[in-house]
Structure 1
Amino acid sequence: MWISKQLVFLGEIERKFPYEGNHTIGQIIKNGIAVNDSMEDDTALAYKSSQGLVIITGCSHSGICNIVEQAKEICQDDRVLSIIGGLHLRKPSIEQLNGTITYLRQTNVRKLYACHCTDQPSRIALAQLGNLCETTVGLTLEYP
């Protein structure tokens, strides 16, 4: 759903990468029965700047690679200027962490602002990309 000419709510994120977005978190009630919750309703925002996409996430339960792919498809732009938010990399499997790093490197993300849901070992691993930026209270970012 387009909120403005440049800002889009991505809706339910399609799971394309086998190494992410396939875990469950608690349970939900469906038709009166408790079932594992895989956060199918996880979503994010994408801002279309003149220099590329700015992807704004919450916790990225569906997987940051899945979110980026959906943003690129909806916005019809392969340039990713920034990713800001939680990357859901709290004690990830080696496969998920390596897959995420490989994907982000291939996508050529210019700035990565990893917030909550990204543990310190994952941040250290992400730092090898050379684009990990500090994210602190009071941070202000502006995009054209």
Structure 2
Amino acid sequence: MLDTGYSDILLSNARKMGIDLFQLTHIVLSLGHNDHSNGLRYLDNTIPLSGLKVISHPGCFNQKTVGNQSIGAPFSEEEIRSKSNYIPSETPLFLSENCVFLGQIPQKNDFEIRSPFGRVNVNGEWQDDYLLDDSAVALKTPKGLFLISSCSHSGICNVVEYAKEVCKEDRIAGILGGFHLFDVNDRLTRTIEYLESCHLERIYPCHCVSLLAKAKMMEKLPVFETGVGLTIDL
């Protein structure tokens, strides 16, 4: 499972789709914000986490705030270690032969500079949060890499470039997830140009993408709709 959402909706969705959550072996968290991680609280009340591997960037369970509001994960690192087989990794971690958690995404493109969002507590010190825990998963397929991103605070093109490097594969079959693109500006234009150069077959922008940004992407890219229950065959 990649991310757990904000509420208990994953539990009802799993029931409706006939998915047995007791069969879970891995939970990967792509970001420590509560809209990606708070579902852990509901999972913890439903299934035993003790047999699960929970994988994330080491900073995922640090306290995070915006103003006076807490927006971090529902558990501290100490708590998640006591509840599960927690495996923090800043570097790429292969979950199977064809599935890799990318860890911390390096900056590869000059138009995707990290911007701080809120504050994070690191070793007892509060500082601007540059969201170094933002990551993604890459899947190796016969048609190339299929990427599943989070918010892509790291920059979706940076994510693609790093996945190519880690997996030693230049073909990109598709991307699903958040792109963190809201404004029609130079960054969006250059992102579209980069993704167009990848000659990908399909793209599923959803989380953290505005309607205007998606409309511009549709002019040049093979944009597809996505939603709960979607099955993608590659």
TM-score normalised by the chain length of structure 2: 0.58
For 1:11, the equivalent position in structure 2 comes to: 103
* Identical-residue share of aligned pairs (%): 39
Amino acid at match of 2:229: G
Q: Could you say which structure has the greater relative contact order, defined with CA pairs below 8 angstroms and 6 or more residues apart?
A: 1
Are 2:219 and 1:125 aligned? no
Alignment of 1:99-110 (within 5 A): 99-110=190-201
Amino acid at match of 1:99: R
Q: Which runs of 4+ in 1 moved over 4 A?
A: none
For 2:127, the equivalent position in structure 1 comes to: 35
Alignment of 1:1-144 (within 5 A): 1-91=93-183, 94-143=185-234
- Mapped contact 1:21–1:61 kept (Cα < 8 A): no
Q: Unpaired runs of 5+ in structure 1? A: none
Kindly report the root-mean-square deviation, in angstroms, between the aligned alpha carbons of the 2 structures: 1.3
Report how far residue 90 of structure 1 moved.
2.3
Report how far residue 118 of structure 1 moved.
0.5
The CA deviation string for residues 72-91 of structure 1, in whole angstroms up to 9 with x for no partner, is 11111110001000111123
TM-score normalised by the chain length of structure 1: 0.93
Q: Secondary structure at the match of 2:207?
A: coil
The CA deviation string for residues 6-44 of structure 1, in whole angstroms up to 9 with x for no partner, is 000111000121222411110112344321111112110
Q: Secondary structure at the match of 1:28?
A: strand
1-side partners of 2:233 and 2:113: how far apart?
Answer: 30
1-side partners of 2:101 and 2:94: how far apart?
Answer: 6
Amino acid at match of 1:23: S
